[in-house]
Amino acid sequence: MKLELRRINIKDIQFGEKTAVVKGVLTVNCEELSAALMTDKRIKAVKFDIARPGEKTRIIPVKDVIEPRVKIEGEGKGFPGVSCKVGQSGYGKVNILYGAAIVTVGDVVGFQEGVVDMWGEGAKWTPFSKTFNLVVDITPVEGLNPHQHEETIRIAGLKAADFIGEAGRNVEPDEVLTYEMGNIDEETAKYPELPKVLYVEMLISQGLLHDGYIYGVNSQLILPTLLHPNEELDGAVISGNCVAACDKITTYQHQNNSAILDLYAQHGKTINFLGVILTPELTTLEGKFRTCDYTAKLCKMLGADGVIVSEEGYGNPDSDLLMICKRLETAGIKTVLITDECSGRDGMSQPLADTVEEAVAVVSAGNVSHVVTLPTADKVIGNAEAISTLAGGWNGSLSEDGSLKCELNAVIGSTSEIGYHNCTVKLY
């Protein structure tokens, strides 16, 4: 499979008469975008705004972040199985509005969303303070049930990304990145002496506001599934997760999964990268045993010498993480875990809800309970009062002067468990 990711560097976003990219400036026609989104009769109203790096702007409550792209060659145009018909993603050519992002906001049934600050203390904790953000505020019609409400907002964000991505269809890229990998037999024949490494990516799969999607299929409904790395980089995996903002894997982060990119960079040099196993994180004990056993079986069948496992969320998914680790290490497969820690505001509590002695190589992405103070914004897109009901916020988080005090829990991407931001390494 060969995939070309063709980056068009975006230097600014503006509103104007025509949706287009000229000399790195993305111009958006709000009326046309609104009309495209309002074809979904479940949407009552949409509003748009722009947030640029360095501006004293706060976005809250954020549901998802998506990178606008357009497939100019190959199948799987858009988000296959979701915003377009199912097609084989992972090959062809994709034009990317690199540096731009679609950010969806608005109440999403429950309380679990997040905040993005474009400047100051908050900016250093989220990767999306560095992107030029087109913020899409979606109000659904009254009377939707919670699942319809969540789906309406999720699909609207993806449609907005597809619509904006079209502006880059005929624009020459500033940079072309090529990702090419044959089947496992072919790659092993090329690199017979290199250790074979798999990446196991755990996905929240726990019901309303707690799901990931693979080719449009809710991850609750699947067994652990092997993907070519290019498929995730090409839009096959999207987020429906609003569990805790700090470690949710946004759709943007799936499109640019840093664990995959780092493994790709070492493929053929220090490792033979075999592929990606997507593993659901279920809530039942029976489900956990089934998915963890199945994940270990796939790793053994494929002959992995080493496995990288990343988690999504914390709490009961910690058990899945450690169960997989124990099974792999017992089978003689070296295993590295990527997680974050819920170790209390003083950092002294047990960092994970579970532990096994086989977990000897652990990458920590930070403490979700760390408290930060975010200064007063000149402009708030959304509703600042939402901080009181966000995971990581509380009544009193919002001060009279407009500043916020909250845990990193509330900040989008602050402790990313795929390494898409700041990471530290500790051995336990």
Cα–Cα dist 69/87, whole Å: 16
Average pLDDT along the chain: 93
* Contact present, 384 and 58 (Cβ < 8 Å): yes
pLDDT at residue 106, rounded to an integer: 79
| pLDDT range class, residue 427, cuts 50, 70, 90 | low
pLDDT at residue 230, rounded to an integer: 97
User: Residue 324 pLDDT > 70, yes or no?
Assistant: yes
Cα–Cα dist 213/182, whole Å: 25
Give the tokens for residue 352. 């994970």
User: Residue 207 pLDDT > 70, yes or no?
Assistant: no
* Contact present, 152 and 140 (Cβ < 8 Å): yes
Distances (CA, A) of 84 to 67, 167, 321: 16, 18, 33
Enter the DSSP assignment of 205.
B
Give the tokens for residue 83. 């915003």
Residue 427: how many other CB atoms lie within 10 Å: 8
pLDDT at residue 261, rounded to an integer: 97
84 in catalytic set: no
User: Residue 59 pLDDT > 80, yes or no?
Assistant: yes
Average pLDDT, stretch 312-328? 92
**Tens digits of residue pLDDT in 96-107:** 999 999 999 977
How many domains does one find in the chain? 1
Give the tokens for residue 321. 């993480």
pLDDT at residue 169, rounded to an integer: 96
Assign 3-state DSSP to the chain and report helix, strand, coil percentages, each to 5: 25, 35, 40
Distances (CA, A) of 256 to 119, 230, 407: 23, 10, 26
Give the tokens for residue 69. 């792209």
User: Residue 362 pLDDT > 60, yes or no?
Assistant: yes
| pLDDT range class, residue 352, cuts 50, 70, 90 | confident
User: Residue 348 pLDDT > 80, yes or no?
Assistant: no
Enter the DSSP assignment of 411.
B
Average pLDDT, stretch 319-347? 93
More confident residue, 208 or 210: 210
User: Residue 428 pLDDT > 60, yes or no?
Assistant: no
Average pLDDT, stretch 56-78? 93
pLDDT at residue 193, rounded to an integer: 97
**Tens digits of residue pLDDT in 14-28:** 999 999 999 999 999
Cα–Cα dist 216/418, whole Å: 21
pLDDT at residue 349, rounded to an integer: 80
Q: What are the start-end ranges of the E strands in 25-164?
A: 25-28, 43-51, 57-66, 69-73, 92-98, 100-105, 114-117, 132-140
Enter the DSSP assignment of 63.
E
Which one from 30, 84, 242, 406 is the annotated catalytic residue? Answer: 242
For 210, the domain range is 2-426
User: Residue 112 pLDDT > 80, yes or no?
Assistant: no
pTM of the model: 0.95
